[in-house]
Amino acid sequence: MDTTVMNLPAIIAAATFTVVTIAILTEKMHLTTAAFLGALVLVFAHVMSLTQAMEYINQSHATLALFLGVMILVRAFEPTNIFAYLATQMVLLAKGEGKRLVLGVIAITTPICAVLPNATTVMLLAPLLPPIAQEIGIDFVPLLILMVFVANSAGLLTLVGDPATFIVGDAINLTFNDYLMRLSLGGVVAVASILIIAPWLFRDIWNKKLGDMDSLPHPKINHPRVLMLGGILIAAVLTFFVIGETLPTPIPPAAVALLGASLALVLANQSKIDTVHNILRDVDWSTLLFFMSTFVIIGGLEKTGVLDSISTILAVILGKNIALGSISLLVLVGLLSSIVPNIPLVVAMVPLLKQYVVNVGFAGPEILNPDFTGQLPPEVLPLFYAMMFGATLGGNGTLMGASSNIVAAGVAEIHGSNISFSRFLKYGIPVMLVQLVAASLYVTFAFLL
C-alpha cells in the first residue's frame, strides 16, 4: 500500500492543527470560527466520524461542565451590581496614592480569580476600570494589563481558576484538595512575583499622586437580600469543591458547579432580578464552542498517531530524565504559550506526555484510556505540573497568550485606547520571564530535589 495514502489522515490532522493555530495567532479569523471550521474539516475529510468527534468532546465533558456552571453562576448575580462595587473599592483603597491603587487591583483580583475562570473575571471587572481611572486622571491601559497578569497568575491558586489548570488536573485525576495541598503555593509564588516587580514595571502609576476621589461614582449594591443568598450559595459551592470528592458518594467539581448554576437560576428568576432567558443568552457560548472544537482537533492528532510520533521523539531526547524534562517542558511550553493560546496547547500536550510516560516505561498503556481513574506514578507528576505552570504563566508574555488578554484589549478599544501587540509586550516579556524562572525554582525545590 502507498505510504502516502496510509499517512494522509495524519497529514490532514497536522495541517489542520497548524492552519487553525496560525489563523488564531495572526487574528485572520476569530478563534472560535477557526477552531470550529478545523474540527469540521476533520469530519468531512474522514479523518474521524462525527460520532468519534463527539466522543472526543465527551472525554473532556468535565471541563465544559465546570466552565458552563461557573459562567451561569457569575452572570446570575450581575444585576446586584457587586462587580461595579468591587471595582470602585480598588480605587478607594488607594487613598490618593498610585502604589495603593496597584496593590488594590492585585488585592481585589487575586481572590476572585482563584475561584472563577480568569477570562470571566476580567470580562466582569475590566470594563469598570477605564471610567474610574479617567476620573482620577491616570492612563487605564497599564491597569488593565496589570489586572490580566494577576488574573492569569491567580488562576494557579486552585484547580478551577484557569482552564489550562483544570484540563491538566482532570487528565491526571487530581482532586481539588490535592491541588490545594501540592500546587497552590506555586500560585502564591506567581502572584508574589508580580508584587515584587510592580513598583518597577508600573512605576508611572506607582509613584503618582491620584486626583480628587471625592467625585468618584459610588455604585450601590442592588438586591442585597438576593446577594446575601447568592453569597451563601457560592460559599457552599466552594466548600463542595474542597470536600465533594472525599464524600462517601464523591461529587466532582464540575457537578458542583452545575448544581450551583441551577440554584442560581432559580434564585435569580424567583426573585425577579433577571430572567433565565437573559442569563443563558449572556453565557459565553463562543468560548465553550472553542473548547469543544479544540478537543476534536487534538483528537485528530491523537487518532492519526501524530502525537505518538512526537512523544517517541521526546522519549529519545529526554530518556528517563524527569528533572530535565520538567524544567525543559516548563520553559518550552511557557514560550509557546506566549504565542499560541494555552488551551489548545495544553489539550495537545496532555496525551503527548501520557504517551511519553508509556514509551519510556514509567506506566502501562492503561493510562492512555480516557476512562482511566487511577493515579499516575508520582515520579512523572512533575512533568504535568511543569506543563501546567508553563502554559498558564506563558500566557502573560504576549497579547495573544491568553483569552483574558484579548478581553482586556477589547475593553480598552471600547473606551478609546489601544493595547497594541508591542505595548503589551513591553510589560508582558519581563513578567513572563520572571514568572517562568520563579516557577522553575518552585517546581525544582518542591518536586524534583
159-171 confidence digits (pLDDT tens): 988 888 988 998 8
Q: Is 54 domain-assigned?
A: no
Nearest to residue 387, comparing CAs of 429, 361, 350, 351? 350
pLDDT value, residue 42: 96
pLDDT value, residue 215: 63
pLDDT value, residue 214: 62
pLDDT digits (tens, 9 = 90+) for 100-135: 888 888 988 999 888 877 877 887 788 878 877 777
Measured CA to CA, the distance from residue 185 to residue 183 in angstroms comes to 5
Nearest to residue 163, comparing CAs of 291, 35, 289? 291
Q: Are residues 138 and 214 in the same domain?
A: yes
293 within 8 A of 31, measured Cβ to Cβ: no
Q: Are residues 102 and 228 in the same domain?
A: yes
Is the pLDDT at 54 greater than 90? The verdict is yes
148 within 8 A of 410, measured Cβ to Cβ: no
Is the pLDDT at 23 greater than 90? The verdict is no
Q: Write the single-letter amino acid at 231.
A: G
pLDDT value, residue 446: 92
Q: How confident is the model at residue 393 (pLDDT cuts 50, 70, 90)?
A: very high
From 263, 281, 299, the end of a domain falls on: 281
299 within 8 A of 6, measured Cβ to Cβ: no
pLDDT digits (tens, 9 = 90+) for 289-306: 888 898 899 889 888 988
Percent of the chain residues past pLDDT 70, beyond the cut: 96
Measured CA to CA, the distance from residue 158 to residue 383 in angstroms comes to 18
Q: Give the burial class of 215: count Cβ atoms within 10 A of its Cβ; 0-12 exposed, 13-18 middle, 19 or more buried.
A: exposed
Q: Is 16 domain-assigned?
A: no
pLDDT digits (tens, 9 = 90+) for 185-238: 999 999 999 999 999 999 988 988 766 666 666 778 889 999 999 989 988 998
- Count structural domains, the chain: 2
DSSP 380: G
Q: Are residues 246 and 274 in the same domain?
A: yes
Beta bridge mates, 209: 97
134 within 8 A of 416, measured Cβ to Cβ: no
pLDDT value, residue 156: 94
Q: How confident is the model at residue 436 (pLDDT cuts 50, 70, 90)?
A: very high
HEC states along 1-23? Answer: CCHHHHHHHHHHHHHHHHHHHHH
What is the C-alpha end-to-end distance of the chain, expressed in Å? 50
Is the pLDDT at 60 greater than 50? The verdict is yes
72 within 8 A of 264, measured Cβ to Cβ: yes
Range(s) of the domain holding residue 206: 62-281
Q: Are residues 249 and 353 in the same domain?
A: no
From 234, 249, 281, the end of a domain falls on: 281
Measured CA to CA, the distance from residue 72 to residue 61 in angstroms comes to 17
From 229, 259, 281, the end of a domain falls on: 281
- Residue range 60-83: average pLDDT? 85
Q: Are residues 222 and 263 in the same domain?
A: yes
Q: Are residues 347 and 441 in the same domain?
A: yes
Is the pLDDT at 275 greater than 60? The verdict is yes
Is the pLDDT at 5 greater than 60? The verdict is no
Q: Are residues 209 and 224 in the same domain?
A: yes
Sign of CA dihedral 54, 162, 379, 386: positive
Measured CA distances, 62 to 163, 179, 294 (Å): 11, 16, 15
